[in-house]
Amino acid sequence: MSKIKIISIALLAYLLLLAADLRAGISQNFDGRVDQGLEILYQGDYDSALVIFDSFIRDNPQNPAGYFFKAGLYQTRMSAYESDFWHKYYKNSVDSAIMLCNLALDDDPKDAWAYFVRGGSFSYIAAWDAKQGKYLAAFRNGLKAVSDFKKARAIDPALYDAYIGIGSYHYFRTKATGFIKWLPFIGDDRDQGISEIITAIEKGRYSRVMGQNALLWIYTDYGREKKALELGGALEKLYPNNPFFHWAVPEVLWRQKRWPEAEAAYGKLMKLLERQNALNNYNKVVASYKLAKCFLENGKYQDAYRVAQQSISYPLDQETAGRLVNERRRAQEVMLQAEKKIRENK
């Protein structure tokens, strides 16, 4: 047999294997690197997690899941650092995930995980739109996302990860009636949404931690402070060195005006932030202002003055300074109140 024929047969065999692999569905290509990358991501080691996801993408270039989890990494990192520094990488990852999902669904219209990944990618776009104040675009992309999540669930009822997207939609569409005035009242589905997110946490393949984080902030928003504190405390214990999971507990205590406990919680958060290589000092300004307010309410006026002064002294770029006008003004008010109390007590 000639070398050309041998090469042709080998190439044909490779293409047939590749096609069979695609028809098997994208979940057939998942491996332990996804779990490993997510766990390292939750620890706050974004660079190491990125290396793992890139390794998965290199070995599974047709699988959109690698790009999807990579997009989730960038979204979490941008949220954790209050910075859009990684946006172009985030957008490229989201676009790649959607493109590969479309190809996978062209090959197999019943690939439930492809619908899930595409739905998750649309939900990332919706979240970005909402952050930019583009609520109509966010609503439209949210509808695309929940449509794909429901298709995934219909094809595979055991794909419980889809419930986190469906549950989030049911919770937040109730709130959307307050933002999008023309939207007709559609009933209060918040409890249903919470129940669906809990299902994803308990039974999903990849949704436990981020599902818990989503539920934590939903409890905070919904006024279920006790559950928020319990869940927030559990996440803090799981990830003691990642400040991303340490914002909710002090926020709940702050809202309840439990000033001694809030002081301790914001003090712990500030220590974590001081160890972090911040890009813009946004988080430090916010946390130090709130810590200063706690000191003031607790009668620790010297500490309140010192920390409030620190809050307004962090160097900021122009864009970040514009976003923090109110926080810095409030920190200055705390500083002036503390200074007045110090003079009165002399």
Domain assignment present for 118: yes
Q: Which residues are within 8 A (CB) of 167 and not within 5 positions of it... i.e. 6 or more apart?
A: 192, 193, 194, 195, 196, 197, 198, 199, 200
Contact (CB, 8 A) for 12 and 100: no
pLDDT at residue 11 greater than cutoff 60 = no
Q: How many CB atoms lie within 10 A of CB 85?
A: 13
pLDDT at residue 22 greater than cutoff 70 = no
Domain assignment present for 98: yes
Q: Which residue has the tokens 């905070």?
A: 220
Residues 164 and 310 placed together within one structural domain of the fold:
no
Residues 96 and 187 placed together within one structural domain of the fold:
yes
Domain assignment present for 303: yes
Residues 160 and 291 placed together within one structural domain of the fold:
no
Per-residue model confidence (pLDDT) at position 277: 81
Q: Which residue has the tokens 């001081």?
A: 274
pLDDT band (50, 70, 90) for residue 130: confident
Contact (CB, 8 A) for 267 and 306: no
Domain assignment present for 266: no
pTM of the model: 0.86
Section 73-84 average pLDDT: 94
Domain boundary pick from 206, 240, 257:
206
By CB neighbour count within 10 A (0-12 exposed, 13-18 middle, 19+ buried), where does 31 fall? exposed
pLDDT band (50, 70, 90) for residue 177: low
Residues 193 and 74 placed together within one structural domain of the fold:
yes
Domain count, the chain: 2
Domain assignment present for 140: yes
Question: Cα(282)–Cα(323) distance, rounded to whole angstroms?
Answer: 9
Residues 169 and 284 placed together within one structural domain of the fold:
no
Per-residue model confidence (pLDDT) at position 185: 47
- pLDDT, tens digit, 9 for 90 and up, residues 276-324: 887 899 999 999 999 999 999 999 999 999 999 999 999 999 999 999 9
Section 8-24 average pLDDT: 41
Residues 299 and 178 placed together within one structural domain of the fold:
no
pLDDT at residue 80 greater than cutoff 60 = yes
- pLDDT, tens digit, 9 for 90 and up, residues 198-256: 999 999 999 999 999 999 999 999 999 999 999 999 999 999 999 999 999 999 999 99
**Nearest C-alpha neighbor of 28 from the set 16, 36, 20, 38:** 20
Contact (CB, 8 A) for 116 and 152: yes
Residues 166 and 287 placed together within one structural domain of the fold:
no
Q: In Å, how far from its chain's centre is CA 113?
A: 20
Domain assignment present for 39: yes
Could you tell me the CATH number of the domain that includes residue 116? 1.25.40.10
Residues 192 and 315 placed together within one structural domain of the fold:
no
Sign of CA dihedral 137, 139, 141, 144: negative
Residues 179 and 91 placed together within one structural domain of the fold:
yes
Residues 195 and 316 placed together within one structural domain of the fold:
no
Per-residue model confidence (pLDDT) at position 3: 44
Amino acid identity of residue 339, one-letter, is E
Domain assignment present for 270: no
Domain boundary pick from 189, 206, 223:
206
Residues 45 and 145 placed together within one structural domain of the fold:
yes
Section 1-28 average pLDDT: 47
Domain assignment present for 14: no
Residues 178 and 292 placed together within one structural domain of the fold:
no
Structural Rg of the chain based on CA atoms: 24
Q: Could you list the residue range(s) of the whole structural domain that residue 286 is in? A: 278-346
